[in-house]
Structure 1
């Protein structure tokens, strides 16, 4: 999740602008976590490839 669409409950401003301490802390937390909680894009691609391989094996076994 990115901070560009989040609205701060404290100041009602966009979190990406960092108007208050709550916004700045939330933005910093999101930056530390990265995309999808710290899962790297390479790991996501590997997972997708593994899922496709399993799908192909299952299709061959059923056919």
Structure 2
């Protein structure tokens, strides 16, 4: 889950802004838990997957 979609239950602001101590603690905890692709948006992940498929198709066509 990305930080831009989370809303703090304490202050009703986006967690990404970190306006209250609860937001800042949640933001830090989520950043520590994110893996290799955790900071990428879903759109960026789809674009990365499309580029990978395109490279595989080009390589398959070039070496066939």
Q: TM-score range by the shorter chain?
A: 0.5 to 0.7
Question: Are 2:28 and 1:28 aligned?
Answer: yes
5+ residue gaps, structure 2, are 38-64
Question: Distance in 2 between the 1:12 and 1:6 partners?
Answer: 10
Contiguous gaps of at least 5 residues in structure 1:
42-63
Tell me the TM-score normalised to structure 2 length: 0.53
Q: 1: distance between equivalents of 2:10 and 2:33?
A: 22
Which ranges of 4 or more aligned residues in structure 1 deviate by more than 6 Å?
none
Structure label with greater radius of gyration: 1
Q: Which has the higher helix share?
A: 1
Give the TM-score normalised by structure 1: 0.54
RMSD in angstroms over aligned alpha carbons? Answer: 1.1
| Residue-pair matches, total | 37
